[in-house]
Chain A
């Protein structure tokens, strides 16, 4: 589905991505996990052509991703960023259907798709006429997901999709996302720094450090068979409040 071969990227003197090869399987949810600046977002931005690689090739199905076919490929990839990236001047309806309308879809087809997606992401139809400034952060992410899914893309790229949400809304949305990903059977790639989220959503997880993929595998692989001390360190870095409380009492 999506295959990167020896792809590297530098910004000035800073090598943000070492030559990297990775393949994402159809129908699976893959997680790119790492601290900030490890190159995980860069990897995602390379896949949708927001930046071009210094070396290596990216294959989408059997096509090489190049400037000349990038727009067509983007129509088959849904992309969603941390704060949703919704256009403040457009209503929810226009944000979501912008591309379809631009591509000349008929109104009835647009409306039908809008309704399908509203149901999928659990939003009331009144939300369509609101503006991004008038809805909550959680709702904004649902709208952003609707937009990413509108053309029924083969691949979904999500960059810290829940990074700006508070914990309860975050947990709700994580549940819903897992259901949606499973029901749609799409190739999904999620960038996150949250190990819990990675374990919950991911069929496979790749841990990055300093522009390099240290290890790819299931959460269990990473936990039981770490290939690098950093993998263990990262996985164990999450605080456990109950354990903390017990330590304080002692």
Chain B
């Protein structure tokens, strides 16, 4: 799927015959997943190195956004393993079930065909942080101290806002009642804090940003937060099919202290080393394994992300044209079916991108379709593209003067000939304008791919956001802007062939 553009003729075939094999099949290379934050990506890369040392082929780490997405991908077999935390398993994956200890947790996971390793050695729990200056000024040491300051503004990562042990229960435990609480992207929350737009944020205890932004971590004096010990989750069937791989996972048990993990995180976020490089060094030092990391140069990287990105945009657009124009014709020619079609496309347009991806992921897993990677992104882009194409086709057809339609009818042309020879050519300028707008918007929207491992410009942008690194963000954002311009020009050129000459007289 990666070199999509070279195999354009195969595209339709691929769309309907996605090769979706579970990871357990021995011949397939394995994939290790990670959530989109530094620590998770480092831990996943460490496994990749360890496993490769035993001769197993492992794909580059797939960064997959939040817990739900990675967990679903593990359940469906799209990834073989990923790093997780005990607190997350207890509070989020099985939040309505009582799992008092690790044994209960293992039993519960076994029901899903999933196993877990022992703790890797560190506890990355949630905590609340304030700027050191703020802490000093208001004498803040514990979370209880915040009760005196309801005027503080709180900014929490979206996951923290609604997870079982997150804000809703923390608020109760401590009786906090601040005036302003906002959910926001975690990486952006640090910036808002540094700018004093908010005063309190949630942090992870091994988060190097604590040092970077000079944060004071407030003591959890009422012991609200559960332990978040890191471990690996993997598909139990791998014990049979890939025992060496499972051994590599277990090898990591107990080998990372809180300090060591914080240091590795710091190497990525403050010293700007890449996760594969940090993982390689760690593996070398700890296990005396010589793992080789291959990294591409900037141009090669941009070229690859461009191909991935174009693949997402082109396939989804072709499918949307194929479906949207006939749907637009129906919308223009019929009353009830037309309104239903338009209503459906309008509703889809109102669903936020990430929500649509997660929602589709849930459904796709049930029907055995890939929930991560290019496929769901293409489906999402396809759905978003429908409205502008349907609406412009409909408007284009409806705006044709009645006298022209009557002339065509009076000539004795049947409805099919009328549509082909008269109506569609007359509507062509609006239809192509709709497709152009969609294509340009999709170049931007396809960056969603960065959230679920579909590649494209979204990947460096997400990495940049996570590492707070402008060069990474620009590596995705600049080519995306340029591609949007190129797409616009391409369509302006295409208009000459699609829009009849008689409609371009000026």
Query: Are B502 and A102 interface neighbours, CB within 8 A?
Result: no
Residues of chain A lying within 8 A (CB to CB) of residue B417: 102
Query: Are A71 and B414 interface neighbours, CB within 8 A?
Result: yes
Query: Is chain B's binding surface mostly helix, strand, loop or mixed?
Result: helix
Q: Does B257 contact A (CB under 8 A)?
A: no
Query: Are A74 and B412 interface neighbours, CB within 8 A?
Result: yes
Query: Are B503 and A79 interface neighbours, CB within 8 A?
Result: no
- CB within 8 Å of A: which of B381-434? 403-404, 406-414, 417, 421-422, 425-426, 428
Tell me, rounded to whole Å, the shortest Cβ–Cβ distance linking A116 to chain B.
Answer: 19
Tell me, rounded to whole Å, the shortest Cβ–Cβ distance linking B357 to chain A.
Answer: 41
Query: Are B410 and A88 interface neighbours, CB within 8 A?
Result: no
B500 contacts which of A72, A83, A85, A90 (Cβ < 8 Å)?
A90
| Whole-angstrom CA separation of A49 from B407 in the bound complex | 12
Query: Are B505 and A99 interface neighbours, CB within 8 A?
Result: no
Which of the listed residues B403, B412, B413, B422 has the most CB atoms from chain A within 10 Å of its own CB? B412
Residues of chain B lying within 8 A (CB to CB) of residue A77: 410
Query: Are A89 and B505 interface neighbours, CB within 8 A?
Result: no
Given contacts A81-B406, A85-B403, whether A99 and B502 have CB atoms under 8 Å apart is no
The digit string for A40-82, where 1 denotes a CB below 8 A from any CB of B, is: 0000010010100000000000000000000111110101010
Which of the listed residues B403, B421, B502, B505 has the most CB atoms from chain A within 10 Å of its own CB? B502
Residues of chain A lying within 8 A (CB to CB) of residue B413: 71, 98-99, 102
Q: Does B335 contact A (CB under 8 A)?
A: no
Given contacts A88-B426, A89-B503, A131-B501, whether A99 and B409 have CB atoms under 8 Å apart is no
Which of the listed residues A50, A85, A98, A147 has the most CB atoms from chain B within 10 Å of its own CB? A85
Residues of chain B lying within 8 A (CB to CB) of residue A48: 410
Q: How many residues of B contact A (CB 8 A)?
A: 22
B502 contacts which of A50, A75, A83, A88 (Cβ < 8 Å)?
A88
| Whole-angstrom CA separation of A3 from B410 in the bound complex | 19
The digit string for B350-391, where 1 denotes a CB below 8 A from any CB of A, is: 000000000000000000000000000000000000000000
| Whole-angstrom CA separation of A151 from B240 in the bound complex | 79
Q: How many residues of A contact B (CB 8 A)?
A: 27
Residues of chain A lying within 8 A (CB to CB) of residue B403: 81, 83, 85
| Whole-angstrom CA separation of A147 from B408 in the bound complex | 11
Q: Which residue of A lies closest to B428 (CB)?
A: A89
Query: Are A79 and B411 interface neighbours, CB within 8 A?
Result: yes
Q: Does A202 contact B (CB under 8 A)?
A: no
| Whole-angstrom CA separation of A12 from B417 in the bound complex | 31
Query: Are B407 and A79 interface neighbours, CB within 8 A?
Result: yes
Query: Are A89 and B406 interface neighbours, CB within 8 A?
Result: no
Query: Are A98 and B411 interface neighbours, CB within 8 A?
Result: yes
Which of the listed residues A86, A89, A98, A147 has the most CB atoms from chain B within 10 Å of its own CB? A89
Query: Are A133 and B505 interface neighbours, CB within 8 A?
Result: yes
| Whole-angstrom CA separation of A33 from B281 in the bound complex | 97
| Whole-angstrom CA separation of A131 from B502 in the bound complex | 6
Which of the listed residues A72, A73, A83, A87 has the most CB atoms from chain B within 10 Å of its own CB? A87
Tell me, rounded to whole Å, the shortest Cβ–Cβ distance linking B300 to chain A.
Answer: 46
Given contacts A81-B403, A134-B505, whether A89 and B412 have CB atoms under 8 Å apart is no
Query: Are A74 and B502 interface neighbours, CB within 8 A?
Result: no
Residues of chain A lying within 8 A (CB to CB) of residue B408: 87
Tell me, rounded to whole Å, the shortest Cβ–Cβ distance linking A148 to chain B.
Answer: 9
Given contacts A87-B426, A134-B505, whether A50 and B412 have CB atoms under 8 Å apart is no
Tell me, rounded to whole Å, the shortest Cβ–Cβ distance linking B403 to chain A.
Answer: 5
Residues of chain A lying within 8 A (CB to CB) of residue B422: 87
Residues of chain A lying within 8 A (CB to CB) of residue B411: 74, 79, 98-99, 147
A-B contact pairs, 7 of them (CB 8 A): A45-B406, A50-B409, A74-B411, A77-B410, A79-B407, A89-B428, A131-B502
Q: Which 7 A-B pairs have the closest CB atoms?
A: A85-B407, A74-B412, A89-B500, A131-B502, A79-B410, A89-B502, A75-B412
